[in-house]
Amino acid sequence: MGPKTHAVADTVYLRWMLATATLLVAAVALFNVLIDPLGVFGSPRIAGLDSLKPHLDHYRELTHWKAAKRLCAKTGIFGNSRAEIGLNPNSPPLRAHGLAAYDHAVPGTGADLSYLQLKWLGEAGCMPDTVFLGIDFFDFLGGRAPGNMNALDAEPAPRFDAHFFEEEVFSMTGLEDSIETVSIQHARHPDVLTEFGFNPLDNYVAEVEQSGAYTLFRQKAQDNIANWRRRAPLIRPATGGMSDSEQEVDAFVARARASNGKVYLMIYPYHAEARMIVERLGLGALFAEWKKQMVELAARHSGPGVAVEVWDFSGLSAQTLEPIPPPGDRHTQLRWFWEAGHFKQALGEMAIDRMLGAPNGFGVRLDGTNVDEWVARDRAQVQALMAAPSPLLAEVDSLLPAAGP
């Protein structure tokens, strides 16, 4: 075989390799778009193949935005992981009131993202007329100086770009996400994000079976203590004025009210363990002051016949005092909490039902007429709980020993 023949064979081989590689990349891209792990392309959800979408830790803002824009729901749930996990937009109380909802909450984010999401919805003609915003004391802790709202207003809605297609359509990363999507369809306790933006956290059922609820409570408490200790005991800057978190919540409420929307500011349910840790860290008075601050904020945006409602679900109750199983118990699945900071959807349903008018006794609506009395009584109840020996107090003492006389 001569040199010319060798050259022709090499050319044919290279063309064959190029064609094979091109077809392979095209097949991967087609598969990734069809399976659509992030739910951003609107591909059909096929039972047993891709109807369940995994709860992934990347492109979360884009995932929520594409779904929210597609659904254009008139009721919006906003907040952080507590809202994403605990507030089911497809819950019976919302359905009973004819409220079609989407859960925009993204873990690890603050009110700045909630404000942006509301802005983007308005620009897309999908402004909700009822909004629930979960507000978290620990977002305010530290009293950071306010940011530049003009810069925030300039942020465009998430969109596809070259990097997204490279990573999620034409790469092994996207293929891994697609394979995970297919694999969870028949999993016993899959980690999913519903088409309404809700994370039921079913995978934690398996976590409890493996490690026990006590371990989840213990690990989360240790993480929280380390995190809260790193922050200054302030909810406003030392120089005065609004903090960045207060400014963002204020802007969120103003934008919602500009379109005559109904606004519910929800102080999340915290397990009694978290409340006791807050008190032991010397933050109890600050927590009470923060609630007053939220009532003042709501009052700034309320008028005759138009109220921005503040609801406090953090107080002690039969639900927030749910006993923590002892170490080694891998059978008890709690009804109300996953761990001290994240409540289950059953408790979220009670909170939503209460805000919508059900007299179930859970939570307190705060306003200028009752906030001072309530926060004083609420804190006194926590302090009384810490004065009486109990397994819960022993657990808090093991995390944060009480100061001596």
Question: 145 lies in which domain range?
Answer: 58-158+189-399
| pLDDT tens readout for residues 106-152 | 999 999 999 999 999 999 999 999 999 999 999 999 999 998 999 99
- How many whole angstroms separate alpha carbon 52 and alpha carbon 43? 12
- How many whole angstroms separate alpha carbon 105 and alpha carbon 95? 19
Provide mean pLDDT across the span 360-374: 97
**Both tokens assigned to 332:** 């008890």
Residue 395 lies inside a defined structural domain of this protein: yes
**What predicted TM-score, i.e. pTM, was given to this entire model?**
0.93
| pLDDT tens readout for residues 285-342 | 999 999 999 999 999 998 877 779 999 999 999 999 999 999 999 999 999 999 999 9
Residue 53 lies inside a defined structural domain of this protein: no
**Both tokens assigned to 97:** 């009131």
DSSP code at position 186: G
Q: H/E element holding 132?
A: strand 130-135
User: Residue 339: beta bridge partners?
Assistant: 342
Residue 405 lies inside a defined structural domain of this protein: no
- How many whole angstroms separate alpha carbon 177 and alpha carbon 54? 8
Residue 405: pLDDT band by 50, 70, 90 thresholds? very low
Residue 257: pLDDT band by 50, 70, 90 thresholds? very high
Residue 6 lies inside a defined structural domain of this protein: no
Residue 12 lies inside a defined structural domain of this protein: no
Confidence at residue 7, expressed as pLDDT on a 0 to 100 scale:
56
Q: Quick check: helix, strand or coil at residue 369? A: coil
Residue 244 lies inside a defined structural domain of this protein: yes
Q: Apex CA 41: angle with CA 18 and CA 114, to 5°? A: 130
**Lowest-pLDDT choice from 6-20, 34-48, 139-153, 209-223:** 6-20
CA nearest neighbour of 243 among 383, 147, 120: 147
| Distance from the first to the final alpha carbon of the chain | 97
Residue 14: pLDDT band by 50, 70, 90 thresholds? low
Where in 244-298 does DSSP place strands (E)? 262-267
- Count structural domains, the chain: 1
| pLDDT tens readout for residues 16-35 | 666 666 677 788 889 999 99
**Both tokens assigned to 196:** 């309404």
CA nearest neighbour of 36 among 233, 231, 232, 175: 175
Confidence at residue 266, expressed as pLDDT on a 0 to 100 scale:
98
Residue 73 lies inside a defined structural domain of this protein: yes
Provide mean pLDDT across the span 82-87: 98
Q: Are 388 and 381 in contact (CB under 8 A)?
A: no
Q: Which residues contact 297 (CB under 8 A, 6 or more apart)?
A: 246, 249, 250, 253, 265
Burial of 70: CB neighbours in 10 Å, binned 0-12, 13-18, 19+: middle
Q: Look over the chain and give the mean of its residue pLDDT values, rounded to a whole number.
A: 93
